[in-house]
């Protein structure tokens, strides 16, 4: 009888530490943040001393041109970065999906940019963008061209940040699409070849549609991560010049540490979180829909037999 008892308690014993840590250090802070977003709170106060101001932070933010600008920059950054990375990453995967020597070495080299610290990525790009000692302007100079104000002009700074992010994250899309390509059913490719499909026809009508479920998931994972980019931009431009590269994450951290408006920073975090919840929900709903469809198709196919 005692062993039955042990068996009944065991799962809870195994789960308890994880549940405890996540409740204390993840769920509680998130709840706390939602509460703090209704307060007028600065870092030297205890939270109990902060004044309750209702929705004022949220309304203030909506009327704040700098916040709207930063929200817009975030959306623009995510959209530009993710679409460019998808095109380049999937394109490269289609090109390199061949039986060549040293493919695993290649993949190893490609994941290096993702593994090293974003701070370091920012550091080395800042060095390369340096107006006088950076490699880009040196090359331009030796070709007799004018130097480019990589980080000191608004639109160039945005482009520079986008380039650095593409360098860091395109490999992610490449690796995932390559894995998807290599797990495609050989029979479909064979059938297409026998039917006389040309290279690009195979890509357009066979490979891409079959990869689509993976591509959608990849896209959404990357999109979610694009909203979390912070360190690279912090090191490269610190949001400037002006507000041209100030994405929301950066603005949250500046509102909290420089402007000392914890309540407003929390409200801003909530806006960002709401945006991401919508995206994640879309991703999960899509997954479910696809699963349901495959199940239905399989069932139909089995009934036919």
Partner 1 sequence: MADRTYEKQNPAFYALLVALVVMAIGPILMMLTTSLKLNVDIMSDSSSLLFMPTLRNYETALCDFLWYEAPHIDYCDKTFGRALVNSLIISLVSTVLTLVIGCMAAYALVRFRFMGRDAVSLSTLAMRMVPPAVLLVPVFGIWTFQFQIDGTRAGIILVYVAMNLPFVIWILQSFIVQVPIQLEEAARMDGAGPFQVFFLVVLPLIKPGLAAAAIFTFRVAWNEFLLANALADRNSRTVPVTIVNSITEFDIDWGVIMATGMLLAIPPIIFTFVASRQIITGMTAGAVKG
Taking CB under 8 A as the criterion, which residues in 101-120 touch partner 1? 101, 104, 106-113, 115-120
By CB under 8 A, is residue 265 in contact with partner 1? yes
By CB under 8 A, is residue 89 in contact with partner 1? no
By CB under 8 A, is residue 248 in contact with partner 1? yes
Q: Count of alpha carbons within 13 Å of 93, Cβ hemisphere only?
A: 25
Applying the rule CB under 8 A, the residues between 133 and 152 that interact with partner 1 are 133, 135, 138
By CB under 8 A, is residue 90 in contact with partner 1? no
By CB under 8 A, is residue 269 in contact with partner 1? yes
By CB under 8 A, is residue 280 in contact with partner 1? yes
Instruction: For residues 210 and 208, give the distance between their C-alpha atoms in angstroms, rounded to a whole number.
Output: 5
Q: How many residues bind partner 1 (CB under 8 A)?
A: 99
Residues 6+ apart with CB under 8 A from 190: none
Which lies closer to partner 1 via its Cβ, residue 158 or residue 174?
Answer: 174
By CB under 8 A, is residue 124 in contact with partner 1? yes
Q: How far is the CB of 268 from partner 1 (least distance, A)?
A: 9
Q: How far is the CB of 232 from partner 1 (least distance, A)?
A: 10
DSSP-derived secondary structure for 61-129: HHH-HHHHHHHHHHHHHHHHHHHHHHHHHHHHHHHH-S--TTHHHHHHHHHHHHHS-HHHHHHHHHHHT
By CB under 8 A, is residue 272 in contact with partner 1? yes
Q: How far is the CB of 148 from partner 1 (least distance, A)?
A: 17
CA distance readout (Å), 85 to 12, 117, 143, 198, 231: 43, 20, 29, 26, 19
By CB under 8 A, is residue 188 in contact with partner 1? no
Neighbours of 113 (CB within 10 A): 17
CA distance readout (Å), 295 to 43, 288, 289, 298: 53, 11, 10, 5
Which lies closer to partner 1 via its Cβ, residue 58 or residue 167?
Answer: 167
Instruction: For residues 15 and 4, give the distance between their C-alpha atoms in angstroms, rounded to a whole number.
Output: 18
Q: How far is the CB of 303 from partner 1 (least distance, A)?
A: 24
**Residue 88's closest CA among 183, 205, 175?**
175
Q: How far is the CB of 51 from partner 1 (least distance, A)?
A: 15
Q: Which of 53, 75, 148, 175 binds partner 1 (CB under 8 A)?
A: 175
């Amino acid at each position: 009888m005692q062993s039955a008892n042990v068996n009944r308690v065991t799962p809870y014993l195994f789960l308890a530490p994880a549940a405890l840590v996540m409740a204390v250090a993840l769920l509680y802070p998130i709840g706390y943040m939602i509460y703090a977003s209704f307060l007028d709170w600065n870092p030297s106060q205890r939270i109990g001393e902060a004044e309750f101001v209702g929705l004022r932070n949220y309304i203030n933010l909506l009327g704040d041109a700098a916040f709207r600008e930063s929200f817009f920059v975030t959306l623009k950054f995510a959209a530009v970065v993710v679409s460019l990375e998808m095109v380049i990453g999937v394109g490269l995967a289609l090109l390199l999906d061949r039986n060549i020597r040293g493919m695993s070495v290649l993949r190893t080299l490609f994941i290096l940019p993702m593994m090293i610290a974003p701070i370091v990525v920012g550091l080395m790009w800042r060095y390369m963008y340096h107006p006088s000692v950076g490699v880009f302007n040196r090359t331009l100079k030796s070709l007799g061209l004018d130097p480019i104000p990589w980080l000191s002009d608004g639109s160039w700074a945005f482009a520079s940040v986008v380039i650095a992010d593409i360098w860091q994250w395109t490999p992610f899309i490449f690796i995932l699409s390559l894995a998807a390509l290599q797990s495609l059913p050989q029979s479909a490719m064979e059938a297409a070849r026998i039917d006389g499909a040309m290279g690009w026809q195979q890509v357009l009508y066979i490979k891409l549609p079959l990869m689509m479920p993976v591509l959608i998931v990849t896209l959404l994972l990357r999109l979610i991560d694009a909203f979390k980019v912070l360190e690279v931009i912090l090191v490269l431009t610190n949001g400037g010049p002006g507000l041209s590269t100030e994405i929301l994450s950066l603005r949250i951290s500046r509102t909290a540490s420089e402007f000392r408006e914890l309540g407003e920073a929390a409200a801003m975090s909530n806006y960002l979180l709401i945006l991401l919840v919508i995206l994640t929900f879309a991703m999960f709903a899509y997954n479910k829909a696809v699963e349901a469809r495959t199940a239905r198709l399989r069932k139909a196919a089995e009934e036919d037999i």
